[in-house]
Amino acid sequence: MKNICVFCGSSPGADPAYLKIANKLGREIATRGFGLVYGGSNLGLMGTVAKSALKRGAHVTGIIPKVFEGRVQHPDLTEIIITATMHQRKAKMFEISDGFIALPGGFGTFEELLEMITWSQIGYSSKPCGILNVNGYYDELLMFFDKSVEMRFVKPEHRNAIIVDIDPKKILDKFEKYKPVKIDKWIDKG
């Protein structure tokens, strides 16, 4: 593993624990010698995870769509990549990252995480996807994932491949041991 991509909010959120865990995750990524790939903003959880990783010497790559260029981009990144669209941004994040972690965030975070999980499910990706479930932020989403298994839209193996933890060290430990699921996505293929 070389680069970890972090999806998270450009807002700090309502709970101070979100900023605290973003700081811990940036520190842990740097401590392990990984690079950080993220959305390029200097605001909210995005800015905190980047600042923490940079402070400890990590190579930090921000990938930002042209529409946000010069408005919210972090000024001290090791590398900044400007893309024409949000779709190109995600494609570049996928291309240069070896695993994906979601911190708390909004619609953009959800969409990025779910696309990576989908790519894993259909066999397009063998990279680990994880969620740092800070103070239960993702509890309802995880319950919905469980319901999708119960309703036979998702196989249990695919649901269980989503790595969930509350601790940055533990989630990265699990990433280093990750084995991709190699089964067909289809449940009733008849």
**Domains of the chain: total:** 1
Beta strand spans in the chain (E) = 3-7, 35-38, 60-65, 79-83, 99-102, 129-132, 163-165
* Structural domain includes residue 22: yes
Phi-psi region of 61 (alpha: psi -120 to 50; beta: other; left: phi over 0): beta
Question: Closest Cα partner for 103 from 71, 135, 60?
Answer: 135
* Structural domain includes residue 115: yes
pLDDT the model gives residue 130: 98
- Continuous segment of H or E residues that includes residue 47: helix 44-55
Q: Is residue 107 predicted with pLDDT exceeding 90?
A: yes
CATH code: domain of residue 68: 3.40.50.450
pLDDT the model gives residue 68: 86
What is the rounded CA–CA span in Å between residue 77 and residue 75?
Answer: 6
Q: Is residue 187 predicted with pLDDT exceeding 80?
A: no
Q: Is residue 190 predicted with pLDDT exceeding 90?
A: no
- Which tens digits make up the pLDDT trace of 147-165? 999 999 999 999 999 999 9
Question: Which DSSP string do the residues of 76-109 spell out, in sequence order?
Answer: T-SEEEEESSHHHHHHHHHHH-SEEEE-S--HHH
pLDDT the model gives residue 69: 82
pLDDT the model gives residue 90: 95
Average per-residue pLDDT for the chain: 95
* Structural domain includes residue 190: no
- Which tens digits make up the pLDDT trace of 52-97? 999 999 999 999 999 988 888 888 999 999 999 999 999 999 999 9
State both tokens at 131. 């969620």
- Which tens digits make up the pLDDT trace of 85-98? 999 999 999 999 99
* Structural domain includes residue 148: yes
* Structural domain includes residue 184: no
Domain ranges, residue 9: 3-175
Question: Closest Cα partner for 41 from 71, 6, 82?
Answer: 71
